[in-house]
């Protein structure tokens, strides 16, 4: 494994439905935790990358505001946006900046304060993540898009609403253990299956909740990481791909091709395969998204992902633990912060610091972070 770029610090705010402070204060909560975790000061940071979905930001160009508030001036700051995958795209850019030799310590901070606008406005803005000429004017929104994926998967492979409900039951089990999650209640199968319809076949509990939150990941060169950190976690492989903005441009709807391609790249770069992954965080904005991720990442053959959840193999004690922090379904989904939160979970797992959700002795972890309805796909593989 190449040890060129490491994660030396991670942090996350508690994800909440209605954060009372400003975006700068929200960003500081994750930054403060990450700086303390890394054992450095703002003066040690050479550059910052700030990720958010700008349609939710009342502050134009919030990256400058956030960098100033965090004491990172006059070092350069950059804004990154690939909607829900903004923070992991930021990590890809930070990795490149460090590998190029331009910088040796870079902070990636993602945030979103979604409560600044109404739920109706939020859904409308999410819909505009699709093609504003050919799709969003017809009322397409995120639940409807993923309902299309669910119907396609059910039609092709025979997966059921019960299979999706099993994924939500698992998320709720572990969400109860995550003090930073929005939703910290257990759910049984009947409760999930009897939830109100949102976009058939998806029901209330098949969908993640909007949230306010921030996450922070600090990256360093190998030289700096060995100097600063007692437990660096190394980036082994990165993959990224894009897909057609419109559903009509996709070859199929039973999976996300951007995720498949990103996973292939990350595995090849890391020199590992799906069977080598000890713990994974996948982008479960909807239950069907987690099911498709099992297959797109190679944890199961196409159509066989249901067997993993039916047999409990994605639980903490299973052969491939997935989203044992509750995932987006329990944590909530503050768009710009989501990917960094996933990375934080994997870093803590590989350092053996995950507490009640600790997977036994993991060596390799994976993060799968999706932007939009599979428009952007990022996969990152980490090693301790």
Q: Mind giving me the DSSP string for 36-60?
A: HHHT--GGG--EEEEE--GGG-SSS
216: annotated active-site residue: no
Task: Name the packing angle between helices 119-127 and 142-157 (round to 10°).
Answer: 60
Which residues, listed in sequence order, are joined to residue 195 by a DSSP beta bridge? none
Asked if 155 is an active-site residue, the reply is no
Cβ neighbours of 257 (radius 10 Å): 17
Burial class of residue 120 (count of CB atoms within 10 Å of its CB; 0-12, 13-18, 19+): exposed
The single residue of 153, 283, 333, 368 carrying the catalytic annotation is 333
How far apart are alpha carbons 111 and 126 in whole angstroms? 16
Alpha helices in the chain (DSSP H): 23-38, 62-69, 86-100, 119-127, 142-157, 161-175, 189-193, 222-228, 257-270, 287-296, 305-310, 327-331, 338-350
384 Cβ contact partners less than 8 Å away, ≥ 6 residues apart: 231, 233, 234, 350, 351, 362, 363
Active site residues: 84, 333
């Amino acid at each position: 494994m190449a040890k060129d770029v490491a994660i030396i610090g991670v942090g996350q705010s508690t994800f909440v439905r209605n954060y009372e402070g400003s975006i700068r204060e929200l960003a500081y909560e994750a930054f403060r935790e990450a700086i303390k975790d890394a054992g450095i000061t703002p003066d040690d940071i050479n550059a910052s990358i700030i990720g958010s979905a700008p349609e939710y930001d009342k502050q134009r160009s919030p990256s400058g505001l956030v960098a100033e508030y965090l004491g990172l001036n006059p070092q350069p700051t950059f804004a990154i946006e690939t909607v829900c995958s903004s923070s992991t795209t930021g990590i890809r850019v930070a990795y490149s900046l460090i590998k190029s030799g331009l910088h040796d310590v870079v902070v990636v901070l993602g945030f979103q304060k979604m409560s600044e606008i109404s739920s109706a406005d939020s859904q409308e803005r999410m819909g505009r993540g699709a093609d504003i000429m050919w799709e969003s004017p017809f009322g397409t929104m995120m639940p409807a898009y993923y309902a299309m994926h669910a119907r396609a998967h059910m039609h092709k492979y025979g997966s059921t609403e019960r299979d999706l409900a099993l994924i939500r039951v698992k998320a709720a089990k572990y969400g109860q253990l995550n003090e930073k999650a929005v939703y910290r209640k257990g759910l049984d199968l009947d409760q999930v299956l009897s939830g109100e319809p949102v976009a058939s076949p998806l029901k209330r509990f098949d969908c993640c909740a909007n949230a306010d939150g921030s996450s922070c990941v600090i990256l360093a060169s190998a030289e700096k990481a060995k100097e600063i950190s007692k437990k660096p976690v190394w980036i082994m492989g990165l993959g990224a791909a894009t897909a057609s903005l419109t559903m009509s441009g996709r070859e199929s709807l039973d999976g996300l091709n951007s995720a498949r391609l990103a996973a292939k790249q990350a595995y090849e770069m890391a020199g590992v395969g799906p069977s080598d992954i000890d713990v994974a965080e996948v982008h479960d904005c909807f239950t069907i998204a987690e099911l498709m991720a099992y297959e797109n990442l190679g944890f199961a053959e196409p159509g066989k992902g249901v067997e993993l959840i039916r047999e409990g193999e994605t639980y903490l004690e299973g052969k491939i633990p997935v989203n044992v922090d509750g995932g987006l379904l329990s944590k909530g989904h503050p768009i710009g912060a989501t990917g960094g939160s996933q990375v934080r979970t994997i870093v803590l797992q590989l350092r053996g610091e995950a507490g009640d959700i600790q997977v036994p002795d993991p060596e390799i972890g994976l993060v799968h972070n999706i932007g939009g309805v599979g428009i952007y796909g990022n996969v990152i593989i980490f090693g301790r």
